[in-house]
């Protein structure tokens, strides 16, 4: 929210398809291919949120340019 913590989460799962039923790996690959070709869909208001985030990012660019790189 505005000035508060982001209300989101992420979950990453690693599985061995060979540990499941025969053919599971093929079914999983087919499912992933299907999901990857779908058009993205966004929640109402996402465009406004994205525009606000990009405006904030642009304000940070001059500051980032002044911070020495650690590499």
Predicted structure pTM score: 0.42
Task: For residue 28, count other CB atoms closer than 10 A to its CB.
Answer: 13
pLDDT digits (tens, 9 = 90+) for 16-35: 989 999 999 999 999 999 99
Tokens of 59: 């304000």
Mean pLDDT to the nearest integer, 52-69: 79
What is residue 3's three-state secondary structure?
A: coil
Residue 1 has pLDDT above 60, yes or no: no
């Amino acid at each position: 929210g505005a000035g508060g913590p982001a209300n989101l989460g992420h979950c990453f799962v690693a599985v061995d398809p060979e540990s499941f039923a025969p053919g599971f790996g093929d079914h999983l690959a087919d499912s992933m291919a299907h999901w990857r070709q779908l058009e993205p869909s966004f929640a109402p208001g996402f465009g406004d949120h994205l525009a606000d985030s990009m405006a904030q990012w642009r304000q940070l660019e001059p500051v980032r340019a002044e911070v020495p790189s650690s590499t």
